[in-house]
A and B are shown apart, each in its own frame.
Chain A
Amino acid sequence: MIEWIHPGLILIFGSLFIPLISNRRVKQAYFVILPVLALIDLILISKGFFGGVPSSHWSIDIVGYDLLLGRVDKLSMVFAYVFVIAALCMNVYALHINRDWEHVSAMLYAGSGLGVVFAGDLFSLYIFWEIMAWSSLFLIWFRGTRSALDAGFRYIMWHLTGGILLLAGILIHVQTTGSIEFVSFLDSWGSSMAYYLILLGFIINAAVPPLHPWLTDAYPEATVTGAVYMTAFTTKSAVYVLIRGFAGLELIMWLGAIMAMYGVIFAMLQNDGRRLLAYHIVSQVGYMVCGAGMGTAMAINGATAHAFCHILYKALLFMGMGAVLEVTGRSRFTELGGLYRYMPRTFWLYMIGAFSISGFPLFNGFVSKTMTVEASALIHQPIVWFLLEGASIGTFFCIALKLPRNVWFSEEKPVVEAKEPPINMLAGMGMLAALCIFLGIYPKPLYDLLPYPVEFVPYTSEHVLGICQLLFFAFIPFWIMRESFRGEEKIVLDTDWLVRIPGRRFIRFCEDTLIRYAEFDEKRFFVFPALLERLSKSIRAIQTGYLQDYLRIIFAIVIISLILASIGGMLI
């Protein structure tokens, strides 16, 4: 009998066959069957087919360290379930896309997300962490525009930095403790540099401000279907590792609470629909990071449940806005309006996601958000409570009022020709919408999956009345000021300014200095000028803007680092 099958590896290895299938129908069927297979695998795991839950599988001994690819417990299972379910709906949504390699990178991305969730040791965690960053990069680059290329570059720079910090932390940790097991670092927090580095690596992926701009910069530039995948895996696997490694760390409770508010405030200023939604990923992940930081059983349950629900409704929201982008080619509010006449179905499906993220009763956001907020009340943190409650006002304001008004209404006549998107896109949205409503009305299946037994009743009169008052009264200010939220043809600076502008100045400074030295040298010594000039030119030549050139450079870097790593390995 087979010991265990890794659901992530089903997606990763399965994806490699996609370009080999020539018949389009077969290929589409295969693309949908892949996550179904992974889902069946997960159901078999939780039914105890491979041994009970919790259990460990696929322990591989490499140079004296035990790599553990399959740590199965309730926490990893709940994340795995939502990853696979989301991947299934997203694949349906992306079915009409003909770019095979985009499908491959999406499945590599989802599969490595699962790899992170099941990784029981720090090395395999790191490997899947890196695959996740690289595979998702192509979901941005396949958009093919100049701004997508640039945003992709900035995206991978952030993730490389995060990855290196994480790796450094892991190496120090392994050096001092001799163990590569991935368990809670809370007890050793502060005892060594390692944990700060690991935490930094984790919170870059969780998009905690001020380290979040890679998300809000790159997601709106990704392809329509690619962006949908990206909403789910990177930030939520980071939430998972934060819960696993740093649950109960007060620092991240505060970071999370601030983050929830930060995302909302910046979202209100945005003019691009998908960028507005991206800022709300930051805000919503704030609830989860905060829950992880509180560390009580209810907070961990809340964070996990919220991650589960968030993946479903945020993908739905991105799908809705993506559908508009797909048929009109526009995503800025200043170029949209009045589309309800052409796209009513898309509108209503989007609104189900919008009510869910706002936490309306009967939608899934309600059953998870209230849990996290209640957890902050139970440990008597009034400031955290105010930040989280206040952020949900802004969430409702932006996603359920500002965005739909600007896209589907606001003008009497539609400003652009449009139609409903292809049927498979509507089907993908429909599946997610059904799940959002189902879990909102009947949360028991979700609560049964959570890591701790749930002692929380969402539908009490206090909760329902509280949230209804909060949101219904927040509508008044919106209606009064609705015209000033029509979107402005501006961009909003964020913390990436600190890297982009001084960074550019620094490069200019280096180039200028080199050239000035070359001129000086030319007059007197005639030694280096040609060399320096060539160097300076080749730095510029790297930035050609062509995907092939970038790929070639990356490939070369990977090869060189592999060679260096193996030489280093031999020396050690």
Chain B
Amino acid sequence: MEKRTLFLIYYSSLLLFLLLDIALHLLHHPEPHFPWERIPGFHALFGFIGCFILILVSKSLGHYLLMREVDYYD
């Protein structure tokens, strides 16, 4: 499969999940354990922002504090 087709499928699945989630919240009214679970698309937002935060935290930890040359312990 071409890259273009793959990405087309990917973008449409993103949209599909969001729409389904909105539909679920409108029709089904799930019983949430936490208030933020009432927001439609919360998990999408969490995945997106959470991933950026993880990258930021780990990269800055690595570059400012923890990364050393390979022979550091020798």
Q: Which residues of chain A have a CB within 8 Å of any CB of chain B?
A: 264-266, 268-269, 377-378, 380, 382, 385, 389-390, 393-394, 397, 461-462, 465-478, 481, 484, 488-494, 500
Contact = CB atoms under 8 A, between A and B. Distances in A.
Given A268-B58, A382-B34, A469 B44 contact: yes
B67 A269 contact: yes
A179 to B, nearest CB: 40
A491 B58 contact: no
A385 B34 contact: yes
Contact of B47 (A269, A471, A493): A471
A380 B47 CA distance: 21
Contacts, number: 117
Interface residues of B, number: 37
A397 B51 contact: yes
Interface in B27-74: 28, 30, 33-34, 41, 43-48, 50-52, 54-55, 57-59, 61-62, 65-70, 72-73
Given A265-B54, A397-B51, A461-B28, A468 B17 contact: yes
Q: 8 shortest A-B CB distances, which residue pairs?
A: A377-B33, A473-B47, A470-B47, A469-B43, A469-B44, A268-B58, A474-B51, A477-B51
A462 B23 CA distance: 11
B44 A473 contact: yes
Contact of A492 (B10, B18, B66): B66
A380 B10 CA distance: 34
A271 to B, nearest CB: 9
Nearest to B20: A465
B46 A470 contact: yes
B48 A493 contact: no
Contacts of A491: 67-70, 72-73
19 contacts: A265-B54, A268-B62, A269-B67, A377-B34, A385-B33, A393-B47, A397-B51, A465-B43, A467-B43, A469-B44, A470-B44, A472-B14, A473-B51, A474-B51, A475-B10, A477-B55, A484-B59, A492-B62, A493-B72
Contact of B33 (A378, A471, A484, A494): A378
Contacts of B73: 491, 500
Given A393-B54, A394-B54, A470 B43 contact: yes
Contacts of B10: 472, 475
Given A268-B55, A462-B24, A493-B72, 19 more contacts: A265-B54, A265-B61, A268-B59, A268-B62, A269-B59, A269-B62, A269-B66, A389-B50, A393-B51, A465-B20, A469-B43, A472-B10, A473-B47, A474-B48, A477-B52, A490-B70, A491-B68, A492-B66, A492-B67
Contact of B41 (A377, A378, A469, A489): A469
A390 B56 CA distance: 14
A474 B24 contact: no
B54 A390 contact: yes
B26 to A, nearest CB: 13
A294 to B, nearest CB: 14
Contacts of A390: 46, 50, 54
A393 B50 contact: yes
A378 B32 CA distance: 10
A500 B72 CA distance: 11
A397 to B, nearest CB: 6
Contact of A461 (B13, B24, B43, B57): B24
A488 B69 CA distance: 10
A500 B73 CA distance: 8
A404 to B, nearest CB: 15
Contacts of A471: 47
Contact of B67 (A393, A468, A476, A490): A490
**Which of A264, A394, A470 is most buried by chain B, counting CB atoms within 10 A of its CB?**
A470
Interface in B1-27: 10, 13-14, 17-18, 20-21, 24
A478 B54 CA distance: 11
B34 to A, nearest CB: 6
A542 to B, nearest CB: 19
A129 B44 CA distance: 44
Contacts of A468: 13, 17
A152 to B, nearest CB: 15
A380 B33 contact: yes
A473 to B, nearest CB: 4
Given A377-B34, A393-B51, A469 B69 contact: no
